[in-house]
Amino acid sequence: MTVERPIPDKTRRDQARASDPRNSAWVAANAGSGKTHVLAQRVIRLLLQGNRPNRILCLTFTKAAAANMSERVFRTLANWSTLPDSDLGDAIAATGEPRPERPEQLALARVLFARALETPGGLKTLTIHAFCERLLHIAPFEANVPASFTVLEDARKIELLARARREVLIAAQADAVLASAIERIAGEIGVTFDKFFKSALDKRALFRALHSQKAQRDLRIALGSDPDDTVETVMKAIALDGLSPDDWLAIAEVMDTGGVNDQKRGRLFREAYEQWNSNNVELAVQSLASVYLKKTDGEAATVLNKALASARPDVLETLEREQERFLLLWDRLAAVRIADRTITLSVVVNAIQDRYEHLKATQQCVDFDDMIERTLSLLSRSSAAWLLKKLDGGIDHILLDEAQDTSAAQWQIIERISADFFAGEGQVRRPRTIFSVGDEKQSIFSFQGAEPELFSAKRREFSRRIQDVDGKFEPVDLHLSFRSAPGVLAAVDKVFATPERSRGLSAGNDHVPTVHEAWKRDLPSVVEIWDVISAQDREPDRDWKLPLDYRDETDPAVASARRIAGVIANWLRDGETVGAGAETRPVRPGDIMILVRRRDTFFEAMIRALKEKGVPTAGSDRLQLAQHIAVMDLLATARVALLPEDDLNLATVLKTPLFGLNDQDLLDLAPNRQGSLIDSLQSSILPSYQAACARLDFLSRMARELTPFDFFARILGPMGGRRAILARLGPESGDVLDELLNSALAHENRAAPSLHTFIAEVESSEGTIKRDLDSSEGQVRVMTIHAAKGLEAKIVFLPDVCSTPTSRLDLPIFALDAGANGQLPVWSPRKALDCSRLALLRTAEKDTSLDEYRRLLYVAMTRAEERLYIAGHRGKVEIPSESWRRMIEQALAEETVEAPAS
């Protein structure tokens, strides 16, 4: 039974204003406030007013959102086609349009479904990339793309980039400049080479800007060094522009009369003197740095103990003056090293980018970045009018969903295609509108170029342009949540009630507290802060045979995962209920969502704990093909089929679901054998071993005769491999098995099929399989907050609340974004980086990591309908004051309760 909850009149009026097709509108919609409903309602009202479906453009953030939007519109219109007159009139009036008074108006509403389906071009509900793809196919030559180009999906893009990198490393053998750059980078970053280059290639567009001498000179100046500075010249300035080497000796003699630390500094001065006389300037400067700088954070160190400083104030004054000079030059030295390293790295990255572009050109494909760049370039060089005219006759109405996640380049595209909407004549001929809906508080995709402050900036810009031509512009705020219970929303508002905790949720530095209203006012709610599970002071003894990365039940992440899984299992067993009154029912697995910030140790431990407790779970929402155990087993099987004498692979394969032997079987078979493992297996008379031999012989014949696709298809199909793998590893394994077969088929389409080559391709692949958990009914969902955007659940767990974002300065490569005025703020290179690992790509700092961290918390909390559980775990380090845990504790301390026993 559904409880009747009337929608407040104010909300209905706000929705009607936002969906009014005669006005342009800009909607700021809280989480769960029905923005998709308003979008669909506006499209329907546009159709009711006689607008042609092909002249309406709806731009969404994801393909799933586009499909959801289309489904809502077509479901409503299909329903209208069969409604009686009175009911149809009520439905039309509910959209905000006047109730039909004439039969022909009702007839028009009934044929809207057919018109939307049959109009050439139809209703355009697309992602921004899909829209760009359409434009580029209309004018490929003007956009400088192949006429029959294909779009690179993420997996194929990663593969091409990896190939480009390999080919550049090979080409470096004949290129002295490139070889020198690679040698320097490899020497400085060591074992992190792969991670370093992956981070560099993610930012390859920024490296491209450093191609010119002017850009390199500007970088050096902006960092605070002279364009002609070198490491050697700055080091000599450090050593000679102040105290002389003879002065170092004199100061060392004074320090010998002081305490232990003073004497240590005296020895460092003597070492610097000896190193200088040996022409080793770098070591001399490092010795001086040990005197003037703290090892921990690079800040100024104490140069004299109190007793000696009181006895020799003249020496103290000299050293403090010298220290101040040293710190300035040390920053300058760090800036030179940053610039040198960045420019050196740009040589390699640009070479890889050039090779990547060549590979794309030869294969006639473009990636998603290309589509935005080429479309923007096309619209900048040409009028958008003729392009849109070719695109089904033009565009009259633009609807933009999730506008807070739109990048600057995407906004430029929207501005160009709507340029003549508000040029005067464009409005005279027919009404043309733009509609945007978003929420700055939910902007969490900065890694894809989202700039939440643009949402407010573009609202002001479009408002001015529309009003300049006497158009109507409606700013609308939607506060009513149709998702969450009052208690959950009250907790959200409490958490972000202060300026410190709300910083970053809205544009600018002004504190704008969150305001939420609950539609489900009668629904009870729970917000619990569980006790933190901390690491033990002393690690327990463990079996030395276990892997070094094995985590037992005492690990905080594992213990936290087991606690959550235990509580969920008890709920399902004991019939715990959700809802209230007539809506009360038992908790189902599909009611529960567990949200994390990243897929780390806890993520895997959580899925494992749920399976151990027998709780149905959808598994991971992202799967690494080459790293999934099912794929690893199948690749090992293929290698054994090609080379049965490989003992390690054979031992691995015998324990897979395909053969089903166990550790005891291998212990009976392998120790004290005289030859290879396959010989021992073949000489055994046990039926299970003989059956394994027969299967291995069959696999060897298959490997010689079949293509990779047929080989794996035969294993997974007629040989029962798929059934055995799913039985042991769970249903999520089906996705990776399907993807492996797809990869095998793609391999055969690209080149002559080879099982050897295919195994190598998969093992070197970094491709990721994205699984849609939105439709995972009857299963607990464990996913990242980014993946959960747009989803909801009755019960939400937040277990990852005790740490703050990794500092951008800890990354292999970091970019400092240019500020609004283009000026470099005050910063310290010595504090900014370890000069042996990091590089700078831009020239001004704008650290928004904590801002987005707070927005992530908002998104996570607003996924919950009835219950929200804060369940943290941590290592031996203290919980940071900026952490979600501390923020929530400060706001809800009086409501803290103990966690239920598992």
Q: Which residues are annotated as a binding site for ATP?
A: 29-36
Question: Could you tell me the two tokens for 690?
Answer: 């003989």
Q: Helices 629-642 and 755-764: crossing angle, nearest 10°?
A: 150
The whole-angstrom separation of Cα 354 and Cα 369 is 15
Question: Could you tell me the two tokens for 18?
Answer: 């936002």
- Report how far apart, in Å, the C-alpha atoms of 355 and of each of 137, 168, 170, 351, 520 are: 24, 7, 12, 6, 57
In sequence order, which residues have a C-beta less than 8 Å from that of residue 20 and are 6 or more positions away? Answer: 42, 45, 96, 474
Residue owning tokens 């690079």: 298
Alpha helix ranges (H) inside 670-808: 677-683, 687-705, 708-716, 721-729, 733-750, 755-764
- Residue 715 dihedral angles phi and psi, to the nearest 5°: -65, -45
Bridge-partner residues for 797, per DSSP? Answer: 594, 869
Binding-site sequence positions: 29-36
- Report how far apart, in Å, the C-alpha atoms of 276 and of each of 236, 243, 286, 288 are: 10, 13, 11, 11
| DSSP string across 289-336 | HHHHB-TTTSPBPP-S-HHHHHH-HHHHHHHHHHHHHHHHHHHHHHHH
The whole-angstrom separation of Cα 18 and Cα 399 is 11
Q: Helices 408-417 and 368-381: crossing angle, nearest 10°?
A: 40
Question: Could you tell me the two tokens for 130?
Answer: 């899909």
Question: Could you tell me the two tokens for 754?
Answer: 């080879």
H or E segment to which residue 352 belongs: helix 313-362
Residue owning tokens 């070197």: 764
Report yes or no: 289 and 298 within 8 Å, Cβ to Cβ: no
The whole-angstrom separation of Cα 889 and Cα 895 is 9
Bridge-partner residues for 617, per DSSP? Answer: 780
Q: Which long-range contacts (CB under 8 A, 24 or more apart) does 317-324 make?
A: 318/243, 318/251, 319/251, 322/242, 322/243, 322/292, 323/292
| DSSP string across 501-559 | HHTTSSSSS-------EES-TT---EEEEPPPEE--SSPPP--TTS-TT---TTSHHHH
- Report how far apart, in Å, the C-alpha atoms of 111 and of each of 57, 718, 837 are: 20, 50, 64
The closest of 837, 845, 829, 836 to 293, measured between CA atoms, is 829
Sign for the pseudo-dihedral over CA of 815, 819, 824, 827: negative
